[in-house]
Chains A and B, each alone.
Chain A
Amino acid sequence: MSERELTMSEALNEALHEEMERDGGVLVVGEDIAQLGGLFQVTKGLLERFGAQRVIDAPISEAAQAGAGVGAALVGCRPVIELQIADFVSLVMDQVVNHAGKWRYMSGGRVTVPFVLRGAVSSGIGMAAQHSQTLEAWFVHAPGLVVIMPSTPYDAKGLLKAAIRDDNPVVFLEKRLLYSRPGPVPEEEYTVPIGVADVKREGSDVTVATYAAGVHLALQAARQLAREGVEVEVVDLRTLKPLDTETLLASVRKTGRLVVVTEAAGTGSFASEVVARVTEAAFSSLRAAPVRVTGKDVPMPYAASLERAVLPQVEDVVAGLNAALERVPVAEASS
């Protein structure tokens, strides 16, 4: 096994290079993705290698980019659309929800829409209310879409390759703060299967189910609690839809306690869905009420002190874990 390390943006870039090389039907569309290589360099070098017909600097028309992606997919191409900032999904929701996600079903299963919409989730760096949302719940709620949120360069590369090869529309949300974070990525070709969670840390006392940035919060919190003799299991869901309920439930059945962490606003969040599924399927295994650690239900503020107060921090996860472990009252744990 290679010891090579890549950042997440390098890993994603490698995934695109490999899939475009492998399949002439893969094309990449977005703003500033060709000449510039993308604001976060995820599409760097693609234009030079694959040309302007397959690597398209599109006008600032997010809805048309997404719609064009659906159209290209319907005729058998495999478009990857880059949303520079994930918040811009509000401009493309009709194309994604009413078109990408429904076209196959509306046709009675006669067409496929192999389409990937990538977007950078840009919270945590002072980009304020219109550039900092974590919106996976919107897509999970809409039928027909696969939703993926990777936490490591390895997973990001393997899952993007799997997403491009999948015959379904995929919403692939990347946490911008993780782009520059390095991690091991082997030289050898691989994919990461869609719909399979990954236990990032094993433990027997309490389960944290999370994804993307939440994984790193959870691992830090787990290290803190380990010093107090508490063993936290961190389940990285990786794919939110389809959800790997087997891995999730197996973990909760082992620990009897559940904390769900997401940076998204809490109300109607995917954390709520995870709690509901676990409660329905494994109520008798739960030794305490599940706890959600989420962002606050406010537009993201700009100032660092305010943004920090809105996004879940490591100490919030620790508090959530203590609540699930019944070490402190729940009321104190919820920030």
Chain B
Amino acid sequence: MATTATSDDVRTLEELLLRMWRIRAFEIRAMELFEENLIRGSVHPYVGMEAIAVGVCGALRPDDLITSTHRGHGHCVAKGLDLRRMMAEIIGREDGYCRGRGGSMHITAMESGMLGADAIVAGSSAIAVGAAHGLRLQGRENVVVCFFGDGAANQGILHEACNLGAVLSAPVVFVCENNQWAISTPASASTRIENIADRAAGYGFPGVVVDGNDVLAVRAAASEACDRARAGEGPTMIEAKSYRVTPHSAATKTDLRPPEELDAWRARDPILRFSRYLAEEQGIEPARLEQIEEQARQDVAAAVEFALASPRPDPEAAIEDVFAPAEWLVPGRLA
């Protein structure tokens, strides 16, 4: 476990733990709700990877932006979105962040710096670059973090986006969440290199490999990358090595991963590791740690209660919001 910065107070550390537990509890509950047919389509749980989102977002300012992926709940929770509106969205209700139009894979909350989750693998990488350049044009000293996975690392658009980000010196941080598997294809079968972050050299910016199950190590790497970005020195690629201990999705019933591999990663659980660190190095009482875990569970339970009480979207409104208001747009009609 990386050592904490001296400026960290106990409350900040506890908040990191709380957010990780919230992600864990949210995902486990979401998988249950999928089995209960309350969630349609699918859910891509972030279990085992909580330290990445929480570590990265722990380095961000509230008005910094992120783009996310199909496996995006963790990013949303870490960025401070409202669990109730997240759950309402995932259950498909009117009070959801996207009023039931987006679902699990498309949660968007600009007011919280969430540009949007994107279910096209690597699809948001250039969007992050453009948003970062746009912020700079507006004179804002913000960064944009683009989360993507090891699977996305082999998409063409990511290459284009990294290179464009580099030539623009855009304040963007590319965070590769290497969870080792793209559904059933291991990263080792998708690339001949050990570290995806090595590719950063080809774009002329730093690539950093970090233990993705160490929230403080992730946060430290992200802080450094954000400092660089804010200083106008351009992008950084952080590769956070981790593992998703749950299946690809709640709807994926076949899992080809070796059980011993799963066990090995479960033993490195990021939440339990950080809890141990807080108890042993920071002297936080076990009872307090349990209290934080319990609070996360209660927050998620309240979110589910809120979501289930929210009305279903009106089918008459299905054609709304395809277009932004415009002189040519006739209310109640499509173009």
Contact = CB atoms under 8 A, between A and B. Distances in A.
B106, B128, B157 pick with most chain A CB within 10 angstroms: B157
11 contacts: A27-B134, A67-B157, A68-B126, A75-B65, A95-B123, A104-B324, A105-B322, A106-B116, A107-B106, A193-B327, A194-B327
Interface residues of A, number: 55
A71 interface: yes
Nearest to B96: A108
B134 A71 contact: yes
Interface stretch (B54-62, B158-166, B252-260): B158-166
Given A109-B321, A111-B108, A168-B324, A59 B99 contact: no
A241 B321 contact: no
B98 A71 contact: no
A74 interface: yes
A208 interface: no
Contacts of A74: 110, 115-116, 127, 130-131, 134
Contacts of B226: none
Contacts of A214: none
Interface of B: 65, 67, 96-102, 106, 108-110, 115-116, 118, 120, 123-138, 144, 156-157, 160-161, 163-164, 167-168, 320-329, 335
Given A77-B137, A106-B102, 6 more contacts: A65-B126, A73-B130, A107-B98, A108-B102, A143-B322, A168-B326
B126 A64 contact: yes
Interface string A237-281: 001011100000000000000000000000000000000000000
Interface string A148-176: 00000000000000000011100000000
A144 B323 contact: yes
Interface in A192-245: 193-196, 239, 241-243
Contact of A72 (B67, B106, B134): B134
A58, A114, A168 pick with most chain B CB within 10 angstroms: A168
Given A59-B164, A68-B130, A103-B116, A76 B138 contact: yes
Contacts of A59: 160, 163-164, 167
Contacts of B324: 104, 109, 112-114, 166-168
A54 B134 CA distance: 9
B160 A64 contact: yes
A166 B326 contact: yes
Contact of A68 (B129, B138, B322, B326): B129
A181 interface: no
Contacts of B161: 64, 67-68
A98 B132 contact: no
A75 B156 contact: no
A63 B100 contact: no
A168 B129 contact: no
B328 A242 contact: yes
A127 B221 CA distance: 50
Given A108-B100, A168-B323, A195-B335, A99 B164 contact: no
A98 B134 CA distance: 21
Given A54-B137, A99-B120, A194 B160 contact: no
Contact of B125 (A67, A193, A239, A241): A67
Contacts of A54: 137
B164 A72 contact: no
Contacts of B335: 146, 195, 241-243
Interface in A92-123: 94-95, 98-99, 103-114
A80 to B, nearest CB: 13
Contacts of A68: 126-127, 129-130, 133, 161, 164
Contacts of B125: 64, 67
A73 B133 CA distance: 11
A72 B156 CA distance: 20
B157 A94 contact: yes
B164 A61 contact: yes
Query: Which A-B residue pairs are the 6 nearest by beta carbons?
Result: A67-B126, A71-B130, A68-B130, A109-B321, A242-B335, A195-B328
Contacts of B136: 53
A178 interface: no
Contacts of A106: 98, 101-102, 106, 108, 116
A12 interface: no
A111 B163 contact: no
Given A63-B156, A68-B127, A242-B335, A107 B138 contact: no
Given A67-B157, A110-B97, A56 B130 contact: no
A320 interface: no
Interface string A68-90: 11111111110100000000000
A25 interface: yes
B108 A99 contact: no
Contacts of A77: 134, 137-138
Nearest to A112: B324
A204 B100 CA distance: 49
A102 B4 CA distance: 42
